[in-house]
Amino acid sequence: MREPNVAPESSLHVARRAMVRRHLSCLVLASLLIYEAMPAAIAQIRAMPKAASSKSAKKGAGKDGESKPAEAKPEKMAYDYNLPGADGKDVPVANYKGKFILIVNLARKSSYNDQLPALVKLNDKYKDKGLVVIGIPSNDFGAEEPGTPAEIQKAYADAKVDFPVMGVSKLSGDAELPIATFLTKSKGAPAGGPIHWNYTKFIIDKKGAVIARMNSDVAPDSPEFLTTIDQVLDGTYKPAKKGGDKPGASDDDDDE
Q: Which CATH architecture has domain 78-234?
A: 3-Layer(aba) Sandwich (3.40)
State the angle between helix axes of 223-234 and 116-126 in degrees (0 to 180), rounded to the nearest 10.
30
Domain ranges in the chain?
Answer: 12-56, 78-234
**pLDDT at res. 188:** 87
Report the alpha-carbon distance of residue 43 to residue 53 in Å, rounded. 16
10-residue mean pLDDT profile of the chain (256 residues): values are 56 70 69 68 64 48 58 85 95 97 98 98 96 98 96 97 97 94 93 96 96 96 97 91 49 54
pLDDT of residue 59: 53
What pLDDT is attached to residue 51? Answer: 46
pLDDT of residue 254: 61
pLDDT score at 189: 93
Instruction: Give me the pLDDT at residue 233, please.
Output: 95
Please state the pTM of the whole predicted model. 0.70
pLDDT at res. 101: 98
What is the reported pLDDT for 245?
44
